[in-house]
Structure 1
């Protein structure tokens, strides 16, 4: 009879006290912890503690909500869900309460569009990635990379779902932190250019214009703003930071759309238009926070019956031919409007433009 061979048993959950497993799990990512919870009740007991996830956020450098916001929320019967915060931050590569929610979003459109995080949508057109930016004397203040534009209007838009990024809905509805969008921009030293920067908050079920933040009428300050800046030739303008503060938005806002458009004003071939980079999005909790119990109806600054088309067309300057968007009832009338499209039978190089950007008519 052969002697039996025993294999030393590894430690089970009950062999180690909670404090040991606590430290082990503090060094694991969210996916690992989520799977480990299925093993035994001891693991579930440890990870059910909201304080465990608060400590895990701190350990991994995830910014916590400010203490005065935590205190006010607790008084009102709400506590921040640190597990939710950690899960979104760890799996989505985002720090929602940090200095810049867009910190990890690449500047290069080819890389950014493949970034693919579920909490944001990225779209760019007619923008060229430059590293370093061309047309400047190198200085310590100059950014290392930027998007450059040409005589065809270039644009870039980023739609952020704050809830999916880790901000709980009640935080946006009850505490309503200010939302700040920033971006650096500058023209080349040798070419006149124009630059637009815009930010707008939206409800989750509101339509998403494919390109730009646009209002049908005057912009509603509670929803955001649009800034336009013109620079003359030989401006030698240093890099400037544009900032938009959205502080008085209403109930139910979940998305923030940040968009930038730019072009040169002299219609030169090449990337002589405005450049922009270092886009930031941040939540700011004022020292004197107020609790909002009223589910007020947020102001509507556009017709919610507007529809987004399946096929997008652009004119010769990169402008969306549905720039202000049209309702279904107006669709028939819109088909009669003229537009210039880059289709297979249209060669943009054969078109001449006057100083206002309009096509020159052929002389008979």
Structure 2
């Protein structure tokens, strides 16, 4: 860390840098100029080095400027929210019922972990590394879980096979004949969404993606999402309901889509939004599960693309009283103890005798 800082001082001071070896001879402006260009790991070490460095790095304006320099302005809350937080003045709290004295943004985590920018899943690299971009079996990490049965799940380039092209779709994920699932786990606090925001503001949380299917095969897909207290939790009572029909509860929502065979294969946008959820939510779980409905060998199931998650603050800084959770379940108090994350290489399954083989040449009987 010291070598890194001194190298910047030498660049700034040129031949006179030798007289700046003593940190007391370096003014705060010079250190701030250096800190703005350090990597995140070195910055964390600087915050632990001394009280002076910690004080300089605790200034909100430093992190706003750093976000601008490294191109992460979208991670920050709007200016109106930063101003209201500094002044401790929020709409909805004119009477002072809510103690806002400790409301402050955690800018370091926000700038480096995502904050209010669009959150996108991280499992793409696993498909890139897999043979033929196909994953079978189970892959588990802190941010996602893929459970791929049947022929697995395949990453296809552009709009995929059997679909109309779409300019916004560069990669998509196609399911096979058996129900397979992709879970996405989002630790909202670790991403930079402060607990007081989740409790007293409860901003809109939006999950969006594009969906499609092959025109020559029937398919079904469920997109579900759930807000939780605990990491990677999935409340079973609601989970069972979400499989059979659409749900629109405060903490859990789902959309079920079915495509008959020989229907138009155009990409469509779907979204789930949480607006009036209870206080205490810290984690978000998003689930995509799908299969083809004709049990064909290959990847004839639904396709998903462009999965995005975004936390959207209201335009006007407003706080609300804490809201009780009326949908609390047993799993919220006694979350399931999952096994340690497992990473498995894709494996091949034996061909099942009852598997249907799609015809080599497709035709629409209605056209005969």
* Coarse TM-score class (shorter-chain normalised): 0.7 to 0.9
Quick one: structure 1 residues 13 and 290, their matched pair in 2 at CA, closer, same or farther if it must change by over 3 Å?
same
Task: Say which SS state the counterpart of residue 183 (structure 1) adopts.
Answer: strand
Residue by residue over 1:153-178, the C-alpha shift from the partner in whole angstroms, topping out at 9 and shown as x without a partner, is 12101011101111111110011101
Residue by residue over 1:128-184, the C-alpha shift from the partner in whole angstroms, topping out at 9 and shown as x without a partner, is 222244324663526121111111112101011101111111110011101100111
Runs of 5+ unmatched residues, structure 1: 1-7, 312-345, 354-364
Whether 1:67 and 2:90 are equivalent positions in the alignment is no
Runs of 5+ unmatched residues, structure 2: 1-17, 90-99, 130-137, 341-348, 357-368
Quick one: structure 1 residues 67 and 41, their matched pair in 2 at CA, closer, same or farther if it must change by over 3 Å?
closer
Q: 1:97 aligns with which of 87, 108, 116?
A: 116
Distance, in Å, in 2 between the alignment partners of 1:38 and 1:274 is: 50
**Residue pair 2:207, 2:310 contacting (<8 A) in 1 also:** yes
Whether 1:249 and 2:272 are equivalent positions in the alignment is no
**Residue pair 1:195, 1:260 contacting (<8 A) in 2 also:** yes
Distance, in Å, in 2 between the alignment partners of 1:82 and 1:163 is: 12
Q: 2:352 aligns with which of 326, 349, 353?
A: 349
**Residue pair 1:128, 1:148 contacting (<8 A) in 2 also:** yes
**Residue pair 1:213, 1:257 contacting (<8 A) in 2 also:** no
**Aligned ranges 1:1-364 → 2 under 5 Å:** 11-62=21-72, 63-73=75-85, 74-75=88-89, 76-77=100-101, 78-86=103-111, 89=112, 94-98=113-117, 100-102=118-120, 105-107=122-124, 109-110=126-127, 120-125=143-148, 126-136=152-162, 139-141=165-167, 143-204=169-230, 207-208=233-234, 214-215=239-240, 219=247, 221-288=249-316, 290-294=318-322, 296-300=324-328, 304=332, 307=336, 349-351=352-354
Task: Say which SS state the counterpart of residue 260 (structure 1) adopts.
Answer: strand
Task: Say which SS state the counterpart of residue 171 (structure 1) adopts.
Answer: helix
Distance, in Å, in 1 between the alignment partners of 2:38 and 2:144 is: 29
Residue by residue over 1:79-115, the C-alpha shift from the partner in whole angstroms, topping out at 9 and shown as x without a partner, is 21213323xx2xxxx42201x212x624354469989
CA shift at 1:191, angstroms?
1.1
Quick one: structure 1 residues 295 and 266, their matched pair in 2 at CA, closer, same or farther if it must change by over 3 Å?
closer
**Residue pair 1:54, 1:83 contacting (<8 A) in 2 also:** no
Quick one: structure 1 residues 70 and 296, their matched pair in 2 at CA, closer, same or farther if it must change by over 3 Å?
farther
- Between Structure 1 and Structure 2, the one with more helix by share is 2
**Residue pair 2:231, 2:283 contacting (<8 A) in 1 also:** no
Q: TM-score if structure 1 supplies the norm length?
A: 0.72
Quick one: structure 1 residues 206 and 17, their matched pair in 2 at CA, closer, same or farther if it must change by over 3 Å?
closer
